[in-house]
Structure 1
Amino acid sequence: MSAPAPTTTTVKEPDRSRHHGDHRPEPPGGTFAKHLRRNLTAHGFLIGAVICFSLFSWYPMVREFLLAFQKTEGGRTAWAGLANLSTVADDPAFWQAWRNTLLFTVLALVLGFAVPFVVAVVLNEFRHARGYLRLLVYLPVMLPPVASVLLFKYLYDPGYGLLNELLGFFGLPAQQWLQDPDTSMLSVVVAATWMNMGGATLIYLAALQGIPGELYEAAELDGAGLFRKIWHVTIPQTRLILSLLLLMQVIATMQVFVEPFLLTGGAGPEGSTTTVVHLIYQYAFNFNDYGAAAALGLLLLVLLAGVSAVYVRLSRAEDE
Structure 2
Amino acid sequence: MHTRTIEPKRPSRPPRRPAGKRKRAVQANITAYGFLCAALFCFAMFAWWPIIRQVVLSFQETNLVDEPTWVGLDNFRTVVADPAFGQAWTNTVVFTLLALVCGYVIPFAVAIVLNELRHARGYLRFVVYLPVMLPPIVSVLLFRWFYDPGPGLFNQVLDVVGLPALSWLDSSDTALISLVIVSTWMNMGSGVLIYLAALQNIPGDLYEAAELDGAGIFKRIWNVTVPQTRLILLLMLMLQIVATMQVFIEPYMLTGGGPENATVTVAYLMYQYAFVYGGNYGAGSALGLMLMIVLLAVAAVQLRLTRDEKR
| TM norm structure 1 | 0.88
Task: In structure 1, give the amino acid aligned to 2:308.
Answer: A
Aligned counterparts, 1:47-58, within 5 A: 47-58=37-48
Residue 230 of structure 1 aligns with an amino acid whose one-letter code is I
> Secondary structure of 1:65's partner?
helix
Letter in 1 for 2:60: Q
Q: Which residue does 2:69 correspond to in 1? A: 78
Instruction: Compute the displacement of 1:71 (Å).
Output: 1.7
Give the 3-state SS of the residue equivalent to 1:278 in structure 2.
helix
Q: How does 1:124-203 map to 2 (within 5 A)?
A: 124-203=115-194
Shift of 1:317: 3.0
In structure 2, what is the Cα distance between the partners aligned to 1:109 and 1:55? Answer: 33
Q: What are the within-5 Å matches in structure 2 for residues 189-228 of structure 1?
A: 189-228=180-219
- 1:205-254 superposed Cα distances (whole Å, 9 cap, x missing partner): 00001000000000010001100000000000000000000000000001
- Deviation of the 1:158 alpha carbon: 0.4
- Larger gyration radius, structure 1 or structure 2: 1
Residue type at the aligned position of 1:185 = L
The aligned amino acid for 1:98 is W
Q: Are 2:281 and 1:290 equivalent residues in the alignment? A: yes
What CA distance in whole angstroms lies between the structure 2 residues aligned with 1:209 and 1:25?
Answer: 48
Aligned letter for 1:87?
T
Structure 2: distance between partners of 1:24 and 1:135: 57
In the other structure, the counterpart of 2:7 is none
What CA deviation, in whole Å up to 9, does each residue of 1:112-156 have, x standing for no partner? 000000000000011121111111100000011122112211111
- The structural deviation recorded for 1:26 is 6.2
Look up the SS of the partner of 2:27 in the other structure.
helix
SS in 2 for 1:271: coil
**Using the alignment, how far apart are the partners of 2:177 and 2:226 within structure 1?**
27
Equivalent residue letter for 1:53: F
In structure 2, the residue matched to 1:63 is: 53
1:238 maps to 229
Q: What corresponds to 1:39 in structure 2?
A: 29
Q: Distance in 2 between matches of 1:313 and 1:239?
A: 14
Most deviating of 252-261 and 74-83: 74-83
Cα shift at 1:24: 7.5
Q: TM-score normalized by structure 2?
A: 0.91
Residue in 1 that maps onto 2:241: 250
Write out aligned runs for 1:294-313 (5 A). 294-313=285-304
User: Residue 78 of structure 2 is aligned with which of 87, 91, 95?
Assistant: 87
Q: What are structure 2's unaligned runs of at least 5 residues?
A: 1-11
Aligned residues between the structures: 296
Which structure exhibits the higher relative contact order, with contacts defined as CA atoms closer than 8 Å and separated by 6 or more residues?
2
Q: Could you tell me how far 1:171 is from its partner in structure 2?
A: 1.9
Residues 35, 293 of structure 1: CA spacing in aligned structure 2 closer, same or farther, 3 A cutoff? farther
CA distance in 2, matches of 1:83, 1:181: 32
CA RMSD of aligned residues (A): 1.9
Any stretches of 5+ residues in structure 1 without a counterpart? 1-19
Q: What are the superposed Cα offsets for residues 169-220 of structure 1, whole Å, 9 maximum, x if unpaired?
A: 2222111000101000000000110010000000000000100000000001
Say whether the 8 Å CA contact 2:231–2:309 is kept in structure 1: no
Distance 1:200 1:317 in 2: 23
Query: In structure 1, what is the Cα distance between the partners aligned to 2:177 and 2:28?
Result: 57
Amino acid at match of 2:87: Q
Tell me whether 1:109 sits opposite 2:109 in the alignment. Answer: no
- 8 A Cα contact 2:231 2:306, kept in partner: no
* Equivalent position amino acid for 1:244 in 2: L
Measure the CA separation in 2 of the matches of 1:67 and 1:317: 37
- 1:111 offset after TM fit, Å? 0.2
CA drift at 1:25: 7.9
Give, in angstroms, the shift of residue 314 of structure 1: 2.4
**Residue 6 of structure 1 corresponds to which residue in structure 2?**
none
Give distance in 2, aligned partners of 1:90 and 1:231: 46
Deviation of the 1:34 alpha carbon = 4.7
